Chains A and B, each alone.
Chain A
Amino acid sequence: MSIDLRTGSPPARVPFYNDPKVRSIAYQVALCAVIVFLVYGAASNAIDNLKKANIASGFGFWNQTAGFDISQSMIAYSNLSTYGRAFWVGLCNTLLVAAIGIIFATILGFIIGIARLSKNWLVNKAASGYVETIRNIPLLLQLLFWYNAVLKALPDFRDSLSIPGGAFLNNRGLFLPEPIPQTGFSFAVMAFCAGIVVSTGYHIWARKRQEKTGQQAPVFLVSLGLIVGVPLIVFLAAGLPLGFDYPRAGKFNMAGGIEILPEFAALLFGLSIYTAAFIAEVVRAGIRAVSHGQTEAAYSLGLRAQPTLRLVVVPQAMRVIIPPLTSQYLNLTKNSTLAVAIGYPDLVQIFTGTVLNQTGQAVEVVAITMAVYLTISLATSLLMNFYNSRIALVER
């Protein structure tokens, strides 16, 4: 027992309820009790209410016939398919719009982010005008605008706008010629795949050689030749083995070609344009985070402007850009749920909309939908943690 130095007597006993350890345990027990009580109450009420409303529970509905049609599906689906099948159709549609949206938003966002750093006054102001306007208008409003005021206001399919190259645009969507590969096309595809493999090997060899000898190899040109040039020559040599199925106006609708639904186009436009404004800010912040001393040091070592950008500025900027960029990608994926407002058949529209209405099994349906998005989010953040630990600055 410790001795109080001033009086030499043992310290006054602290009452047990003032002991931090006891208090901490008491608080935690109380919290757990409250949460268990809430969960128990919610569950018992839910069971009661479901029984009263005569709604089945459990995941048995997964294998029942869905009985509704879906306007766009990447996998085979008909109204005789099951609810489970409808779930996969919705998930594929969500991932499709998210993936294409991410590509467009990244390209547009990088262009605008770099434009905001331009010394050209007009470019700079135009870019910041874009960012300020787009960021301050709700995404849902933008989606409704693209869908109802722009795409749905296009002419009927009888007076479609024709786009050079055999494509048509009308209020039922964008109709593109569908490429149909013919015999011999597979050679070009094989050449393309071989090009990727060989140029990867060449890239590794060139890097090893540069580390050993300092000699640089024209990696970019060689890869370009292997991946684009060779397949092109094969394609030409095989006698252009690619036909097109052109869309034409039928009696009641367009026939032939690939149809891009206006819902899909509106969602894609809206998501890409909205997210690009945020990506532009991320890119601008990332590039400005690289101190000017880095550029000056590179110049004083004798690097020219282009290699300075490629070897010094961009790699350091990417370290700052990539984590917030990923969270923007995640936001885009989550925002794709707004599809429900314009009727694009994404996961939420199909599952939390139609399936929920037909089965009435709110708890299961919402839980499955949330689990999907939660999985995507957690997987992304795990990847990000891994990436961050790999590229973290190694300091002394």
Chain B
Amino acid sequence: MTMSEGDLAVAQIKFVRQTTLEQQPPPKSMHGPIGWLLTNLLSSPFNIILTILIALFLAWIIPGLVNFLLIDAVWTGADRDACREVVQNRTIGACWPFAWERLAYFTYGSYPIEERWRVDLFFGMLAIGVFWILWLQAPRRDLAAYYCFIVLPVCSYILLSGFETIGLRHVDTVLWGGVLVTIVVSAVGIVVSLPIGILLALGRRSDMPTVKLFSVLFIEFVRGVPLVTVLFMASVMLPLFVPEQYSPDKLLRALVGIAMFASAYMAEVVRAGLQAIPKGQFEGAMAVGLGYWQMMRLIVLPQALKITIPNIVNTYIGLFKDTTLVFIVGIFDLLHTIEVSRIDPKWATPVTSTTGYAVAGIFYLVFCYAMSRYARATEARLAKSERR
């Protein structure tokens, strides 16, 4: 049978279609907004119930929040009468004039007003350091680490605490407060914990038994007890351990406690990174004749720290939140300034406490969320560079 005969035979069969059908759009229920609703919200009776419950819950909580923070909120006023329902005769939300009046106190604590430019300068220098080290396309990033870990701490200390010879008046740390203290405590924790944490992690993996023993003891001890007790230890025991005339001030004691705590946690994070480096890297470094510190500095740590960046940032988020605990040993961090302000009789209203906590909540939420986004972006970038 030739080709043409076959074709003819097929053509003669009436019920075989000769042309391809036009492509049909998918059913209405599969695409578009309705399809999205059906697949994502209403796919089964159980899901329908869940959707309704969650929608009801959100309908209760979101308007409540918006009303409190924006619609019912009081925006102007001079004292508590502006935020009292009895006086204003309406539902009152957040009392923003209270937060506005206390903003300087929340930021600087009792730092002398004429010296506050020093704090602003410190914030500016810190912001430069943070952008320099985090922004990948920044020029001369090799200098950023020296800036952040050496120049910045020294300059900040001179700037904030004062240095009489160059005309900066001494400001006692009991006057420091608010965001300034929160930032100082977390910055000290961050700057100190990384190098000490690396040393402890190396010590824990060391071949020398005593070095290993002391590292393990320190790390496990500090990680086994709550931060509150570490801070209590620093604030009541540290003054006993040094001669009376060198007794550290309150802020320094808390900083020592925070630094110890953060170092122990950082050590475990770095150790996890070190464990992920294949043994061949160590052996390769030794084979080309590098000593221990050269091997660590040039070969192992750059790789180990790179893969630990997301975990390091996550530890910093935890540390940033944990700085609120210095409140318990009497340091005036942001939360403490809010606690003091919210019981001020000038602003005594039923909404003052909630307003104060809302300010603190937004502050921490913004900073921690930004850090966690950065950690996630870094993780994604590292995953991309690993892909072949």
Q: Which residues of A contact B (CB under 8 A)?
A: 24, 27-28, 31-32, 35, 41-42, 45-46, 48-50, 52, 118-123, 126, 132-133, 135-141, 144-145, 148-149, 153, 334-335, 337-338, 340-341, 348, 352, 356, 362-363, 366, 369-370, 373-374, 377-378
In contact, A119 and B43 (Cβ under 8 angstroms)? yes
Sample of 13 more A-B contacts, CB < 8 Å, known A119-B47, A136-B372, A369-B229: A45-B241, A45-B243, A49-B244, A122-B55, A141-B364, A144-B335, A145-B357, A149-B353, A153-B353, A337-B227, A337-B229, A338-B228, A370-B229
Residues on B with C-beta less than 8 A from A341 are 327-328
A277 to chain B, nearest CB (A): 12
In the assembled complex, how far is the CB of residue B233 from the closest CB belonging to chain A, in whole angstroms?
5
Decide: A46 near B364, CB < 8 A? Known: A120-B41, A123-B54.
no
Mark the stretch among B22-30, B147-155, B163-171, B209-217 that contacts chain A: B209-217
Which residues 224-258 in B have Cβ within 8 Å of A in the complex?
224-229, 232-233, 236-237, 239-244
Query: Which of A120, A133, A141, A337 sits near B43, CB closer than 8 Å?
Result: A120
Contact B324 A141 (CB under 8 A): yes
Q: Which B residues lie within 8 Å of A120 (CB)?
A: 40-41, 43, 47, 50-51
Question: Is there contact, CB below 8 Å, between B223 and A377?
Answer: yes
From B227, B240, B365, B372, contact of A363 by CB (8 A): B240
B368 at the interface (CB under 8 A from A): yes
Are B54 and A138 within 8 A (Cβ)? no
| CB-CB nearest in chain A for B367 | A136
Chain B contacts for A370, CB-based, 8 A: 225, 229, 233
Q: Please, could you name 13 A-B residue pairs with CB atoms under 8 Å apart, sorted by A?
A: A24-B207, A28-B208, A41-B241, A48-B243, A119-B47, A141-B361, A153-B353, A337-B228, A341-B327, A363-B240, A366-B233, A366-B237, A373-B224
Q: Which residues of A contact B211 (CB under 8 A)?
A: 27-28, 31
CB-CB under 8 A for A136 and B55, given A28-B208, A141-B364, A369-B229: no
Q: What's the Cα separation between A341 and B41 when bound, in Å? A: 43
Tell me whether A121 and B41 are in contact (CB under 8 A). yes
The count of residues in chain B whose C-beta lies closer than 8 Å to any C-beta of chain A is 57
Cα separation A105 to B331 with both chains bound (whole Å): 31
> Contacts of A133 on B, CB cut-off 8 Å?
365
Distance to closest chain B CB from A216 (angstroms)? 26
Roughly how many angstroms separate A283 CA and B82 CA in the complex, as a whole number? 47
Residue numbers in A under 8 Å from B47 (CB-CB): 119-120, 123
Q: CB of B126 within 8 A of chain A?
A: no
Inside 8 A of B162's CB, which chain A residues have their CB? none
Q: A338-B325, A374-B225 are in contact. Are A31 and B244 (CB under 8 A)?
A: no
- CB atoms of A334 and B226 under 8 A apart: yes
Q: Is the CB of B226 within 8 A of A335?
A: yes
A144 touches B57 (CB 8 A): no
Assuming A35-B214, A137-B364, A366-B236, is B41 touching A122 (CB within 8 A)? Answer: yes
CB-nearest residue of chain A relative to B292?
A20
B315 interface hit (Cβ, 8 Å) = no
A141 to B325, CA, bound (A): 10
Whether B380 is near chain A, meaning CB under 8 Å from some CB there, is no
The reply on B360 being an interface residue by CB < 8 A is yes
* Chain B contacts for A31, CB-based, 8 A: 210-211, 214
- Chain A residues near B361: list those with CB within 8 A: 137, 141, 145
Expressed in whole angstroms, the Cα–Cα distance for A284 and B319 within the complex equals 24
Set of chain A residues within 8 Å of B223, measured between Cβ atoms: 377
Interface flags for B28-55 (1: CB within 8 Å of A; 0: not) read: 0000000000011101000100110011
Q: Say how far B371's CB is from chain A's closest CB, in angstroms.
A: 9
B224 engages A374 (CB within 8 Å): yes
A173–B203 alpha-carbon span in the complex (Å):
50
**Residue B369 is within 8 A (CB to CB) of chain A in the complex:** yes
Say yes or no: is B102 at the interface (Cβ < 8 Å to chain A). Answer: no
Q: How many A-B residue pairs have CB under 8 A?
A: 156
Can you name the residue of chain B whose Cβ is closest to the Cβ of A121?
B40
B379 in the interface (beta carbon within 8 A): no
Q: Are B365 and A46 in contact (CB under 8 A)?
A: no
Give A77 Cβ to nearest chain B Cβ, in Å.
23
Contact A362 B237 (CB under 8 A): yes
Task: Assess whether A363 is in contact with B221, with CB atoms less than 8 Å apart.
Answer: no
Counting from the closest, the 8 A-B pairs by CB-CB distance are A136-B368, A377-B224, A42-B241, A334-B226, A121-B40, A362-B236, A138-B321, A337-B228
A335 to B325 Cα, complex, angstroms: 10
Q: Are B335 and A141 in contact (CB under 8 A)?
A: yes
The answer, yes or no, to whether B322 is at the interface (CB within 8 Å) is yes
- The reply to whether B242 and A45 contact each other, CB–CB distance below 8 Å, is yes
**Of B54, B58, B357, the contact of A141 (CB 8 Å cutoff):** B357
Give the residue name and chain of the A residue nearest to B368 (CB).
A136
Segment 299-328 of B: residues with Cβ below 8 Å from A: 317, 321-322, 324-325, 327-328
| A375 CB → nearest B CB, Å | 9
- Asked if B335 contacts A138 (CB within 8 A), the reply is yes
Task: Name the contact of A140 in the complex, choosing from B209, B317, B335, B350 (C-beta under 8 A).
Answer: B335
Say whether, besides A123-B50, A140-B335, A348 and B229 are in contact (CB < 8 Å): yes
Residues of A within 8 A of B342 (CB): 148
Question: Are A24 and B369 interface neighbours, CB within 8 A?
Answer: no
> What is the minimal beta-carbon distance from A347 to any residue of chain B, in angstroms?
9
Whether B339 sits at the interface, judged by CB under 8 Å, is yes
Find out whether the CB atom of B57 lies under 8 angstroms from the CB atom of A362: no
Q: A120-B50, A348-B229, A373-B224 are in contact. Are A138 and B322 (CB under 8 A)?
A: yes
Contact between A140 and B324, CB atoms less than 8 A apart: yes
- Chain A nearest CB from B85 CB (Å) reads 13
B354: Cβ under 8 A from any A Cβ:
yes
Find B228's partner among A50, A119, A138, A340 (CB 8 Å cutoff). A340
Contact status A27-B321, CB under 8 Å: no
Residues of B with C-beta under 8 A to A148:
342, 353, 357
Q: Which residues of B contact A373 (CB under 8 A)?
A: 224-226, 229
The answer to whether A137 and B365 touch across the interface, beta carbons within 8 angstroms, is yes
**Closest chain B residue to A126 by CB distance?**
B54
- CA–CA, A263 to B22, complex, Å? 71
Do B50 and A352 have beta carbons less than 8 Å apart? Answer: no
B364 touches A136 (CB 8 A): yes
Contacts of A378 on B, CB cut-off 8 Å?
Answer: 220, 224
Q: B residues 343-363 with Cβ under 8 Å of A?
A: 350, 353-354, 357, 360-361
Q: How far is the CB of A305 from chain B (nearest CB, A)?
A: 12
CA distance A315 to B51 in the complex (A): 29
Residues of A within 8 A of B226 (CB): 334-335, 337, 348, 373
